[in-house]
A and B are shown apart, each in its own frame.
Chain A
Amino acid sequence: MKLKKIAKVLLSCLVAGALFTGCGGGDKPANDSGDKPAASTGNVKLGMISHLNVTEQKMDEILKMVEEESKVPLTNFTVTYYDNLKLMQMGIESGSVDQISLYTSVADYVIANNDKYEKVSDLTLKNLSDTFCFAVRKDDAALKADLDKALDEMKADGSLDKLAKEYITDVDKGTAPPAIEIPMTEGAQTIKVGVTGDLPPLDYVSADGKAAGFNTALLAEVAKRSGKNIEIVDIDSGARAAALSSGQIDVIFWVVVPTAGKVRADIDKPEGVELSNPYFKDNVEHLKLKK
C-alpha cells in the first residue's frame, strides 16, 4: 500500500520533469527555423529586465531616444520585459524571446555557469552602456551626500577600480567571488541596503545564504569610509520601490542610462528618489542560446 503511494508520487514527479524537459526540447527546432527569417527582416525578439517605475510604453520611448542619440539601431527589436534575470532566462529557454539583453559582466557570468549560452556578435551594441549608482529617498539628503563623498574618495584613490577588478574582471570563470563581511561599529548609525540577489556577479546570494558580489564588497568599503553600519536586507526585486519609500530600507541599487544630451541620465527616476554618483559602468551585451 505504502510502496504504491511512493511509486505514484515518484511517477508524477517524473511526468512533471518529462513535461518540462519535453517543452524545452520541443521548442528548439522551432527556434532554429524561426530565427532566420526573423534576422533578415530585422525583427528580433529581445528580452530585457524591466526598470523600476517605468511603464513599458515609457521604456519604448526611452529606447527610441537612445537610438537617435547613439545611432545604435534598437527599433528592430521587439522587446519583452521581465521582472528579473531568472524569469528572462526562463523566457529565452522556453523560446519566448530570441535574445536577452544583459551587461557584459553578467553575460560573462551566465556563459561561465551555463554552457547553453553564447554572445551575439553584434558590434553596434558595444556603443551602449549603463552606469550603476545608489538610490535614496529625497528627504535623505545627508545620506546621499555621505555616499557621494565615499564614492568620490574611492574613485580618487583608485580603490573603486581595484574592487571592480577584483570582484568582476578577475573572478575565475565559473566561480563566484567570495562573500565579504561588512564591518559593524558599535553605536554608529545603521543604514539598511536592499539587495535582490538577482544580478551576479554584482549582486547575488552565496550558497551559505549570505549576500555577496561586487555590490557587497563596495558596501563594505563605503561602510568603512563613512563610519556607518550597513545592514544588508534581502528583498524581492518587485518590492524594492515600496520598501525604499516606506523607509523599511534606506538604499537600493539603481541603473541609469549615461548618455548625455537628449537622453537625461535620470530619465526613469521616480518622484521622491535621489540618485548618488555612479560607481560602475558596464556595456550592454546580448546573449542567445547555442544552436
Chain B
Amino acid sequence: MEFVDLLYKIFLKDGGWLTILNGLWVTVQISTLSLLLGTILGSLLCFFRLGKIKPLKIAAQVYISIIRGSPVLMLLMLLFYGVFARQGLSPILVAVITFSMHTAAHVAELLRSALMALDKGQVEAARTLGFSKWQAFKLVTFPQLVRIAKPVYQSTIVNLIQWTSVVGYVTITDLTRVINNIASRTMQPMITIIGGMIIYLALSYLVYGIFHWTNRRRTQ
C-alpha cells in the first residue's frame, strides 16, 4: 500500500500526470516532425549519393559521414548555442532541424543499402520491355525497396525517439526533462526513472505495433 501511495505521489498528485503528458507530447512532436523532414531529406540525399553528378555525390558522402560519425547532442548544442544563437529561433525548431539532419543521414544510408540489395537485372529487364525510367522505379524498384527498408526504418524511428531525450540541453522540457524534474522534486530517482523508461518503452512498442498492423494489412 505504501508503494502505491508513493507511486501516486510521484506520477499523479497535483496534476503531475498532465505534466508528464505535456512532456510526452513535446517528445512526440519533435520526433514526428523530424521523422517527416528527415525522411524527405534522406531520400534526396540518397538520390544525390547514388546519382551521376560528381560534386553532389561527394557532398552527400561527406555530409553522411560527418553526421553519422558524431553524437547528435554535440550537433544540437552547436546549432542552438552557436549557429542559431542570435537568430532567436525557438528551441523546438532548432531541435527539429537537428534531428531532421541526423535522421536524414541515417535514412539515406538505409535506403542506399536497401537499393544495393535489389536485383539490378529486374530494372534492366523492365527497361528492355519498354517501361520508362520512372515506371521501372515505381513498379519494380519501389515496392521491393519498401519491403527491404521497412524493418531498418522502424528501428530508425525508435532510435530517433530515444535520441530526442537530450533536448533538455537546449531549454526544451521533453519527457526526459519532466522525469528528471520529478525525480529531483520527489527525491525518488529510481522509481521515477523506471516509470520514465516504461513510457519510452510504450512509445517504442506503439511504433512496432503500427508497423505490425501495416504489415498485416498488406498480407490480408
Residue of B nearest to A9 (CB): B205
Per the 8 Å Cβ criterion, residues 1-19 of A in contact with B are 9, 13, 16-17
Interface assignment of B80: CB less than 8 Å from any CB of chain A: yes
Interface assignment of A75: CB less than 8 Å from any CB of chain B: no
Contact yes or no, A207 B168, CB < 8 A: no
Residue of A nearest to B188 (CB): A114
Expressed in whole angstroms, the minimum distance between the Cβ of A204 and any Cβ of chain B is 5
Decide yes or no: A209 and B85 within 8 Å by CB, A204-B181, A234-B173, A248-B171 being known contacts: no
Contact yes or no, A113 B184, CB < 8 A: no
Decide yes or no: A207 and B16 within 8 Å by CB, A235-B168, A236-B177, A239-B170 being known contacts: yes
Task: Compute how far the CA of A24 lies from the CA of B193 in the bound complex, rounded to whole angstroms.
Answer: 14
Name the B residues within 8 Å of A86 (CB-CB). Answer: 180, 183-184, 189
Interface assignment of B178: CB less than 8 Å from any CB of chain A: yes
Name the B residues within 8 Å of A197 (CB-CB). Answer: 180-181, 184-185
Contact yes or no, A209 B22, CB < 8 A: yes
Task: Compute how far the CA of A85 lies from the CA of B185 in the bound complex, rounded to whole angstroms.
Answer: 10
Q: Name, among A9, A245, A246, the residue most crowded by chain B CB atoms within 10 Å (CB to CB).
A: A246
Name the A residues within 8 Å of B182 (CB-CB). Answer: 205, 207
The contact size tier of chain A is: 35 or more
Interface assignment of B198: CB less than 8 Å from any CB of chain A: yes
Contact yes or no, A208 B194, CB < 8 A: no
Contact yes or no, B171 A204, CB < 8 A: no
Name the B residues within 8 Å of A110 (CB-CB). Answer: 187
CB-contact partner of B185 in A9, A20, A87, A206, under 8 A = A206
Contact yes or no, B187 A207, CB < 8 A: no
Name the B residues within 8 Å of A260 (CB-CB). Answer: none
Contact yes or no, B194 A234, CB < 8 A: no
CB-contact partner of B19 in A9, A198, A207, A248, under 8 A = A207
Decide yes or no: A176 and B169 within 8 Å by CB, A20-B194, A209-B19, A248-B85 being known contacts: no
Interface assignment of B190: CB less than 8 Å from any CB of chain A: yes
Contact yes or no, A84 B184, CB < 8 A: yes
Mask, B153-190, CB within 8 Å of A = 1, is 00000000000000011110100011011111111111
Expressed in whole angstroms, the minimum distance between the Cβ of B165 and any Cβ of chain A is 11
Interface assignment of B15: CB less than 8 Å from any CB of chain A: yes
Task: Compute how far the CA of A93 lies from the CA of B188 in the bound complex, rounded to whole angstroms.
Answer: 10
Name the B residues within 8 Å of A208 (CB-CB). Answer: 14-16, 18-19
Per the 8 Å Cβ criterion, residues 58-95 of A in contact with B are 84-87, 89-90, 93
Interface assignment of B81: CB less than 8 Å from any CB of chain A: yes
Interface assignment of B69: CB less than 8 Å from any CB of chain A: no
Expressed in whole angstroms, the minimum distance between the Cβ of A97 and any Cβ of chain B is 14
Task: Compute how far the CA of A247 lies from the CA of B80 in the bound complex, rounded to whole angstroms.
Answer: 11
CB-contact partner of A247 in B18, B86, B185, under 8 A = B86
Residue of A nearest to B172 (CB): A234
Interface assignment of A200: CB less than 8 Å from any CB of chain B: yes
Task: Compute how far the CA of A118 lies from the CA of B193 in the bound complex, rounded to whole angstroms.
Answer: 23
Decide yes or no: A209 and B169 within 8 Å by CB, A86-B184, A89-B189, A246-B85 being known contacts: no
Interface assignment of A243: CB less than 8 Å from any CB of chain B: yes
Interface assignment of A132: CB less than 8 Å from any CB of chain B: no
Q: Name, among B86, B169, B178, B187, the residue most crowded by chain A CB atoms within 10 Å (CB to CB).
A: B187
Per the 8 Å Cβ criterion, residues 237-257 of A in contact with B are 238-239, 242-243, 245-249
Name the A residues within 8 Å of B181 (CB-CB). Answer: 197, 204-205, 234
Contact yes or no, A207 B171, CB < 8 A: no
CB-contact partner of A249 in B19, B171, B186, under 8 A = B171
Name the A residues within 8 Å of B168 (CB-CB). Answer: 234-236, 239
Contact yes or no, B169 A239, CB < 8 A: yes
Task: Compute how far the CA of A109 lies from the CA of B183 in the bound complex, rounded to whole angstroms.
Answer: 13
Task: Compute how far the CA of A176 lies from the CA of B82 in the bound complex, rounded to whole angstroms.
Answer: 37
CB-contact partner of B80 in A17, A206, A248, under 8 A = A248
CB-contact partner of A16 in B15, B180, B189, B194, under 8 A = B194
Interface assignment of B13: CB less than 8 Å from any CB of chain A: yes
Residue of A nearest to B76 (CB): A239
Contact yes or no, A194 B171, CB < 8 A: yes
Residue of B nearest to A91 (CB): B189
Residue of B nearest to A114 (CB): B187
Interface assignment of A154: CB less than 8 Å from any CB of chain B: no
A-B contact pairs, 9 of them (CB 8 A): A13-B198, A16-B197, A17-B194, A176-B185, A197-B181, A204-B181, A239-B169, A242-B77, A246-B85
Additional A-B contacts beyond A16-B194, A208-B18, A233-B171 (6; CB < 8 A): A16-B197, A86-B180, A87-B189, A109-B187, A235-B171, A248-B80
Interface residues of B (CB under 8 A from A): 13-16, 18-19, 22, 77, 80-82, 85-86, 168-171, 173, 177-178, 180-190, 193-194, 197-198, 201, 205
